[in-house]
Chain A
Amino acid sequence: MIELDDVVVTAWSPDPAGGADRVVRLLGPVTLRLAERRIAVVGANGSGKSTLARLLNGLVLPSSGTVRVDGLDTATDGAAVRQRVGFVFTDPNAQIVLPTPLEDVALSLRRRFPDKVERLEAARAALRRFGLGERADVSVHALSGGQRQLLAIAAVLAVEPAVLVCDEPTTLLDLRWRRVVDDLLADLDQQVVVVTHDLDAARRADRVLVVDDGLVVYDGDPHEAVAHYEALMGQAGVP
């Protein structure tokens, strides 16, 4: 269970008129209880949905209010929260740290498997699970964009988090890989929170949050939420 209580995120921002920096509100106040297995977050660019996603594993800490995952506060129990909540970024290049897939997944497993042989075997098993077994030793540069995103997901899931948060995981992918990643996320045992611009994927979720101007303006049935979002975009002049 993820709980957000009266969460507000603010940041310093330069004054366009050249004056002193000012504080701007990026998100909130937001109060949520997230227990559904599949949750989608939709919203325009800059609406605050990525900030919301980053709150869930402590990448962003609330300026006020609290975020708890299974009772653990992201502000005070950050390391424990990150063991429970995996995070997948839009661009896998930012997430892949080492030169080959096997090494990168093994890096995630260093704490869990101190023995090198066991660690490499576990990393190979994780790669096989995502269809990357044959590519374990190639340069990550030789992987397609879709394979890199699969690798990023494999590296996160290798440590078996209870929750997976994905920030637009399919935005950079073609249709084929988008379907592969969508299907993969749909089949996971974990609770999955996905920030997405793919409204078809959002409709398949159990619950959809619509974020606009830093606020959750709609929360509920996926089809109604997506309709609300489309109406919102229509009002904003988007065809």
Chain B
Amino acid sequence: MTRRERGPLRPPWAGPLGLYHPGTTVVHRLPAGAKLAGLALAGVAVLLLDGPRSAVGALVVAVGVLLVARVPLHRTTRGLLPVTVLALVLGLYQTWSRGWEVGVEVAAELLALVVLGTVVTATTRSDALLDVLARVTRPLRHVGLHPETAALAVGLFLRTIPVLAQSSLDVRAAARARGLDRDPRALVVPAAVRMVAHARATGDALAARGLADD
């Protein structure tokens, strides 16, 4: 019997969002506000530009920025794999229904934006993102939304993604251990309960640290 080498285990979540990678590249040194503004502009640009050529160009630029940022590829490639699969499926569907030009455009635009989002979160500390978001949302104070609270919500979002991914894996492992891995109830119900419990625990933790008192 041949033994399949799987290599060292990796953490269940290695990106694409929510994990800062320290560095001194020009992308790291850019102000967080500039990176967020750039990401927003890129989003608008891919919406406005039509055609597969511009979409592929955007993807090439995004990958170029990723390479300049020197984010370890093993982090991004594994984290981007599900998005790549999704982009391929979407692209194939669009090719079948509307032609190859639209298929390539949709897939490349989606990947380009996710790669750029990955670069922003991998090269910017959450703390710096919170500062920018708190500044940007300052006008919302007039309608009762505290800027620090809005910024913290985004920070929590970034932290919660890997927690939920880990929780889903734990639930699947528990179901498998009981021989219930094909029973959707054994997967969905405990995962939902865990997510609600995590939300409550996080709320308690924020309250205990006084972060909900602003």
- Determine the residue in chain A with the shortest Cβ distance to B131: A116
Chain B residues near A (Cβ < 8 Å)? 11-13, 18-20, 22, 125-128, 130-131, 148, 152, 155-156, 158-159, 162-163, 166, 198, 201-202, 204-211, 213-214
B158–A99 contact, CB under 8 A? yes
- A120 on the B face (CB < 8 A): yes
Within 8 A of B (CB), among A131-154: 137, 139, 141-142
Closest residue on chain B to residue A158 by CB atoms:
B209
Category for how many chain A residues contact B: 35 or more
Question: Are the C-beta atoms of A99 and B163 separated by less than 8 Å?
Answer: no
Q: Judge whether A139 and B19 touch: CB under 8 Å.
A: yes
B-side contacts of A83, CB under 8 Å: 210
Contacts A89-B201, A100-B125, A116-B131 known; 20 new A-B pairs at CB < 8 A: A57-B208, A59-B204, A82-B208, A94-B201, A94-B202, A97-B156, A97-B205, A97-B211, A98-B155, A99-B19, A99-B159, A100-B126, A103-B127, A110-B127, A110-B148, A120-B127, A137-B22, A139-B11, A141-B11, A141-B12
> Residue A107 contacts which of B127, B204, B213 (CB distance < 8 angstroms)?
B127
Partner of A89, one of B126, B159, B204, B211: B204
B54 → chain A, closest Cβ, in Å?
A: 33
* Beta-carbon contact of B205 and A94 below 8 Å: yes
Residues of B within 8 A of A100 (CB): 19-20, 125-126
Q: How far is the CB of B126 from chain A (nearest CB, A)?
A: 4
Instruction: Name the interface residues of A77-117: CB closer than 8 Å to any CB of B.
Output: 78-79, 82-83, 86-87, 89, 91, 93-100, 102-103, 106-108, 110-111, 116
The residue on A at minimum CB distance from B163 is: A93
Residues of A within 8 A of B166 (CB): 141
Q: How near does chain A come to B131, taking the closest CB pair, in angstroms? A: 6
Q: Is the CB of B205 within 8 A of A95?
A: yes
- A99 contacts B127, C-beta separation under 8 Å: no
Give, as a whole number of angstroms, the nearest-CB distance from B63 to chain A.
23
Q: Is the CB of A119 within 8 A of B127?
A: yes
Q: How many A-B residue pairs have CB under 8 A?
A: 100
A137 to B20 alpha-carbon distance, docked (Å):
7
| Cβ A103 vs Cβ B126 within 8 A | yes
A155 at the interface (CB under 8 A from B): yes
The distance in angstroms between the C-alpha atoms of A54 and B142, with both chains bound, is 33
Q: Is the CB of B162 within 8 A of A141?
A: yes
Beta-carbon nearest neighbor of A161 in chain B: B210
| Cα separation A91 to B126 with both chains bound (whole Å) | 22
Tell me which residues across on chain B come within 8 A of A159, comparing CB atoms: 210
Q: CB-nearest residue of chain A relative to B32?
A: A116
For the complex, what is the distance from the CA of A82 to the CA of B202, rounded to whole Å? 16
A110 to B210, CA, bound (A): 11
Cβ-closest chain A residue relative to B162: A141
Minimum Cβ distance to chain A for residue B36 (Å)? 16
Contact of A99 among B18, B206, B209, B213 (CB under 8 A): B18
The residue on B at minimum CB distance from A123 is B127
B127 touches A116 (CB 8 A): yes
B208 contacts which chain A residues (CB < 8 A)? 57, 59, 82, 86-87, 89, 95, 156
Q: Do the beta carbons of A102 and B162 come within 8 Å of each other?
A: no
Partner of A102, one of B125, B201, B211: B125
Contacts of B128 in A (CB 8 A): 116
Query: Given contacts A97-B159, A99-B159, are A79 and B205 in contact (CB under 8 A)?
Result: no
Q: How far is the CB of B141 from chain A (nearest CB, A)?
A: 16
Are A97's CB and B202's CB within 8 A?
A: yes
Residues from chain B with a CB closer than 8 A to the CB of A95 are 205, 208-209
12 A-B pairs in the complex with CB atoms less than 8 angstroms apart: A79-B210, A89-B204, A91-B201, A97-B211, A99-B159, A100-B20, A103-B125, A103-B126, A106-B125, A111-B214, A116-B127, A116-B128
Q: Which residues of A contact B202 (CB under 8 A)?
A: 94, 97
Q: Report Cα–Cα, A96/B209, bound state, in Å.
A: 10
Compute how far the CA of A59 lies from the CA of B207 in the bound complex, rounded to whole angstroms: 7
> Contact: A82 with B210, CB < 8 Å?
yes
Within the complex, the shortest CB–CB distance from B104 to chain A, in Å, comes to 34
Q: How far is the CB of A96 from chain B (nearest CB, A)?
A: 8
